[in-house]
Amino acid sequence: MPPTPEQATTARPATARPHRSSGPGAADVAAVALGGGLGSVARYLLNAAFPAGHGFPWAIFAVNVSGCFLLGLLVIYMFEVWPPRRFVRPFLAVGVLGGYTTFSTYAAGVMTLLTGHAVAQADAYALSSVLAALIAVWVGLKAGRVAATRPGGIR
């Protein structure tokens, strides 16, 4: 169907600027890298301070659960409280919390327990980590909403 006269006059000219890529730029990658470095150093230091050995990996459990809680808080602030800021998500959510929390160390902890023939402990760690992480995100979301709506709350 040919365009109507109104559509023909509002069509984009052939010389329109090309569409820019929506991918991350160098500054976004740098924000993720800086945040990831900070988060992973924090995780490393906590794991070094409280090594698991062949027992229940409490340090990584605490890191992952607290990271999920912080992500719940951050989501509320990023999307409901703070005005949009370009580097908050890449630096804090992807970088710091992505580097701080760790699936690989969690999986390695499960494998260490399994290869050490602590099957029940491996099962308990695997299941409790997932359950506690989900609860922590939910609590973080609720706490974020409460803090954001309280007079004098964190803004």
pLDDT digits (tens, 9 = 90+) for 24-37: 789 999 999 999 99
Q: How many CA atoms lie within 13 A of 95 on its CB side?
A: 18
pLDDT digits (tens, 9 = 90+) for 11-70: 555 555 555 667 778 999 999 999 999 999 999 998 889 887 668 889 899 999 999 999
> What φ, ψ does residue 74 adopt, rounded to 5°?
-60, -40
What confidence category does residue 155 fall into, taking pLDDT thresholds of 50, 70 and 90?
A: low
CA distances from 152 to 24, 71, 77, 116 (A): 35, 22, 15, 51
Interacting residues of 52 by C-beta distance below 8 A, sequence separation 6+:
58, 59, 60, 109, 112
Q: Taking the complete model, does pTM exceed 0.75, yes or no?
A: yes
pLDDT digits (tens, 9 = 90+) for 99-137: 999 888 899 889 999 999 999 999 999 999 999 999 999
Question: What is the dihedral angle through the alpha carbons of 29, 34, 38, 39, rounded to the nearest 10 degrees?
Answer: -10
pLDDT at 68: 96
Query: Angle 119-149/58-76 helices, nearest 10 degrees?
Result: 30
Cα–Cα dist 58/77, whole Å? 29
